[in-house]
Amino acid sequence: MLSFSHTVVARYYYVLLQKKQLSFELDKRVFLHGNILPDLERSRLNTHHWDESKSDYEQYMARAKDGRLGNIERSEALGIVCHFMCDYFCKFHTIQPYRQIQDHRHFLYEAMLHVRLRTIMIKRTIIRLNPAEEAVFSDGDLHKSVMVNGGLDHLMNIYARQSESLVHDLTFQLAAVRAALMSTFNLEYIENEMAANEFALDSHRLLTAIRLEDGR
């Protein structure tokens, strides 16, 4: 996932989380920075494959949940976790033979993924999404696979068995992000099921907030 996409996802869920009672104050600037930090640092964080960075993910997940740390440290750690969640469920980071491809095809795929993400978000403010697109934001119990049924390994197995598509990647990416946020803040849900008119109105407000943050 491109850094632009990580920022879109981070801002989207930051806005939603402001409606919740959180166990610590999520620092917006630091959280957003954490979501792109692995792409900026030339270190072990630059490895975004599950089997190669599992220990890093577990370390930052533990920091995000550690009540002995301050809001700044926890916000950054949670941002890094969300970054990992999105990259783990991109076929060019996970599935062979794509995983071995590190040329323009990888970049072009992530560019298309970014366009698809923004298109779905904009479409959501105008009309009701089709079931596959709506699953990007409301996956039923898919996100619970991370917390209940064996963690990310279990979700990875489900992901690998599904047909390949941009929407498929987005669905698993955002499900993993939701699971990380719900686990960190001990939330039962992040998004409510909404009636059609409430659905469009709430989505419009969220997208407007994101655009304002972008300076547009």
pLDDT tens digits, 84-96: 999 888 876 665 5
**What is the CATH number assigned to the segment(s) 1-209?**
1.10.575
Would you call 63 exposed, middle or buried from its count of C-beta atoms within 10 A (0-12, 13-18, 19+)?
middle
**Which positions of the chain have pLDDT values less than 70?**
42-51, 92-103, 139-150, 191-216
Look at the alpha carbons of 176, 181, 187, 193 in this order and tell me if their dihedral is positive or negative.
negative
Domain boundaries, the chain: 1-209
Listing DSSP states for 140-199 in one string gives: TTTTHHHHTSSHHHHHHHHHHHSPP-HHHHHHHHHHHHHHHHHHHHT-S-SS----HHHH
CB burial of residue 60 (10 Å; 0-12, 13-18, 19+): buried
pLDDT digit string, tens, across residues 35-67: 999 888 755 445 556 667 788 888 999 999 999
- Residue count of the chain, please give it: 216
Q: Which long-range contacts (C-beta less than 8 Å, at least 24 apart) are formed by 100-104? A: none
Buried b (16+ CB within 10 A) or exposed e, 186-196: eeeebeeeeee
